[in-house]
Amino acid sequence: GENVEQHPSTLSVQEGDSAVIKCTYSDSASNYFPWYKQELGKRPQLIIDIRSNVGEKKDQRIAVTLNKTAKHFSLHITETQPEDSAVYFCAATTSGGGADGLTFGKGTHLIIQP
């Protein structure tokens, strides 16, 4: 089955700086890669996703890049703000989150230092 590795486990950046979280996946058939943000005690919230037919997607301060050859994808957050502090999870699946389910990484605790 699919295996997703996520790094780093903890990332501390100064407010206003950029943050980058990286994930690798094992199943070359995976074609859908969402990113979720989870604040303490709350539900995972989808922040951005990308499908294998594109290499990059951007939504305001958040962007995701995908390298299918190397089987890795990354989340980029620019101009970080205190409300960006949370745990971020990457995930992968061979469909749009269908019968195979989403395989998640172990998460990155992002800390924004004021």
Nearer to other proteins, 78 or 100 (CB): 100
Query: Which listed range, 11-19, 28-36, 56-64, 67-75, lies at the site for other proteins (CB under 8 A)?
Result: 28-36
| Residue 84 near other proteins by CB under 8 A | no
Q: If binding is defined by CB under 8 A, does position 96 make contact with other proteins?
A: yes
Locate 59 and state its tokens. 């939504």
Structure tokens at 22: 């990286």
> Rounded to whole angstroms, how far apart are CA atoms 25 and 61?
24
Q: List the one residue from 62, 65, 97, 111 that touches other proteins (CB under 8 A).
A: 97
* Cα→Cα distances 24→41, 66, 68, 71, Å: 27, 10, 10, 6
Bridging pattern class, strands 86-92 and 72-77: unpaired
Q: Which of 21, 47, 103, 112 lies at the binding interface for other proteins (CB under 8 A)?
A: 103
**In the bound complex, what is the minimum distance in angstroms from residue 92's beta carbon to other proteins?**
11
Q: What is the residue type of 89?
A: F
CB 13 within 8 A of CB 113: yes
Residue ranges that bind other proteins, judged by CB under 8 A: 1, 4, 6, 32, 34, 36, 42-46, 49, 89, 91, 95-107
